[in-house]
Structure 1
Amino acid sequence: MTARVLLLALAVSACGDAPADVSDGAAVARVGDAELTEADLADALGDAPAGLDSATVREQLVEQWVQRELLIQEARRQGLDDDPAVARRLQEAERSTLEQAALETFFEQAPAEPSDADLEAYYDRHRDALALREPYVRLRHLRLADASKAAEARASLARAVASPYPDSLFVLVAAEYADDPAGATAFAGEYVSEERIRSLDETLGERVARLSAGAEVAVVPVSRTVHLVQVVDRVPAGTVPPFRLVRDELAERLGVQMRRDAQARLLQRLRSEAQAAGRLAVR
């Protein structure tokens, strides 16, 4: 099958065969007999990330729908929906969608999410495995593309660090000087491995490795960029991190395990019911 045919087949499998329901409101766009209604568009806009310009998003969604519908109708005109390979892909897409829908409905009805008690018990059982294999640090870090502001930014950061409210003032310093204020603020709240810092930049990683935790603000020029760094805290290798620092990671890890176990129980129940009803036969 040619690349053009594959593209059309993907469009068909993504949208299905049925045209949009025209009973849900006025038509926003029409391609042949297919219509995109105001209700359809409102549903799509409701899934858009907050903060985006709604007029621009609306225009993009309408254009995407038109382009997709043009491809679908062209595929049908060429008879590609009768192509055995396309039909198989459509059937597989339908089966995958139904499989996913069944699991989503199951987990909506019986959420498999760990409680705080579950997480604390898991933490206690796996303390040895959670011990850090390498040193971790917490940094206040500013990246400046404008080297001329390095001295001013360093003085501001040093004052923030020496104040009774260093984290709150760091947010203001980052907003004033950092290339990425939001990223700098988020990074300052995390513990990261020294290896991760070294992977971002070898020079910066080597300098951070030599810094002691405390009030010193170091200036690290790298090419045309200047980094200002202050080590807030160090956690040596072999340390078991406190529960609060690994809670989110444990929630994700244990949640995956719980959902996997719940899915296995669901499949076992469905298998037993199918066998009892004579609907399952495996040779």
Structure 2
Amino acid sequence: MSKSCSSVLLILGLGLVGLPGCGPEREEGPVVARVGDAALTVAQLDNQIPDSDMAEAQRRLFVENWVRRELLYQEALAREVDETARVRQLVEQTRRDLVIAAFVDDLFGDRQIEVSEPDVERYYHLHADDFRRPDAEIRAQHILLGSRRDATSLRDELLRGAIFEDKVRDLSTDRETNTIGGDLGYFTADDRPEIWEACAGTGPGQLCRLVSLDGSYHIVRLTDRKESATVRDLTEPTVREQILEALVRETHRERLDELVNGLRTGHTWSIDETRLAGP
């Protein structure tokens, strides 16, 4: 397994996520919004929201937020807030952080981090408490259908011995799960209250009561139950991903520490311990 080192900003703790600042000199192509001389082009909007399936309401919210931000920014400039010592200090600190991030990214950005299976297993066993369930969970499969008649008929077929996974593949309208046996993963009562309630008193491998939700019908089969405080299994995708991310961050820190320690030996630096201690 390997992971890229490209997310250097995460290492440095820089939460620098924002909307694009679009001045007149950057205007290229059709414009979707303006504030004074500043413009947000369609190309810039598409670059910020690459998901073409995003609802119009979400795109509108993004644009309205850009307008709000630009109005505030231009008013701040008019009041010369950017000339204050505090803002200058913040701008300089941000500039330094970005330069550091770019420097580290140049050094490590293309280097892959290899994570071995023994490393994953070792981390899992050493940090078992991190993977304990705070609440009871169940795991279930489902088949999503559009009508009660179809759902009732299919549920009867399943009770007579039809293969659940085959029916999921052939009939379920849930595109996110119909290729993985309808698996919903583990969830709590708060995550999916209607399905949780329908599975009350049901044992693993049994069909739950039919669930009507948002105009559709769920045929649900319980596959597992886990009590609170039990440790999640390493085979659960969320557990493995959490471990991989932790090991990648750890390797990032080690590489960064190694770099800084090397720089310490090649540069003159000092810390005045008496002044550090304060009065």
What's the TM-score bracket when you normalise by the shorter of the two chains? 0.5 to 0.7
Which segments of 5 or more consecutive residues in structure 1 lack a partner in the other structure? 1-12, 176-180
Q: Please say if 1:208 is aligned against 2:208.
A: no
TM-score by length of 1: 0.60
Secondary structure, counterpart of 2:271 in structure 1:
coil
Distance 1:107 1:189, change over 3 A: farther
How do 1:50-69 and structure 2 match up within 5 A?
Answer: 50-52=51-53, 65-69=66-70
Match of 1:189 in 2: 183
C-alpha distance in 1 between matches for 2:67 and 2:198: 54
Identity of aligned residues (%): 18
User: What letter corresponds to residue 75 of structure 1 in structure 2?
Assistant: A
Q: How big is the alpha-carbon RMSD for the aligned residues of Structure 1 and Structure 2?
A: 4.9
Contact 1:158–1:215 (8 Å) recurs in 2: no
CA-to-aligned-CA distance 1:86-117 (integer Å, 9 cap, x gap): 33443344344445444554542223353xxx
C-alpha distance in 1 between matches for 2:67 and 2:132: 53
C-alpha distance in 1 between matches for 2:150 and 2:22: 63
Match of 1:272 in 2: 262
Distance 1:47 1:72, change over 3 A: closer
Match of 1:246 in 2: 236
Contact 2:143–2:182 (8 Å) recurs in 1: no
Match of 1:156 in 2: 154
Q: Following TM superposition, by how much is the alpha carbon of 1:254 offset from its aligned partner in structure 2, in angstroms?
A: 2.9
Greater helix proportion: 1
User: What letter corresponds to residue 197 of structure 1 in structure 2?
Assistant: A
Distance 1:207 1:62, change over 3 A: closer
Distance 1:56 1:21, change over 3 A: farther
CA-to-aligned-CA distance 1:173-194 (integer Å, 9 cap, x gap): 542xxxxx4577589324415x
CA-to-aligned-CA distance 1:234-275 (integer Å, 9 cap, x gap): 36677984x6x3355224323323323322332332243144
How do 1:1-283 and structure 2 match up within 5 A?
Answer: 19=23, 21-22=25-26, 25=28, 28=31, 34=38, 41-52=42-53, 65-112=66-113, 114=115, 118-119=116-117, 121-123=119-121, 126=124, 129=128, 137-141=138-142, 150=148, 152-159=150-157, 162-164=161-163, 166-170=164-168, 173-175=171-173, 181=174, 188-192=182-186, 196-197=188-189, 200-201=192-193, 205=196, 208-219=199-210, 228-231=219-222, 233-234=223-224, 241=233, 245-247=235-237, 249-278=239-268, 280-283=269-272
User: What letter corresponds to residue 155 of structure 1 in structure 2?
Assistant: S
Which segments of 5 or more consecutive residues in structure 2 lack a partner in the other structure? 1-16, 273-279
CA-to-aligned-CA distance 1:189-209 (integer Å, 9 cap, x gap): 24415xx136643x8546635
C-alpha distance in 2 between matches for 1:89 and 1:56: 34
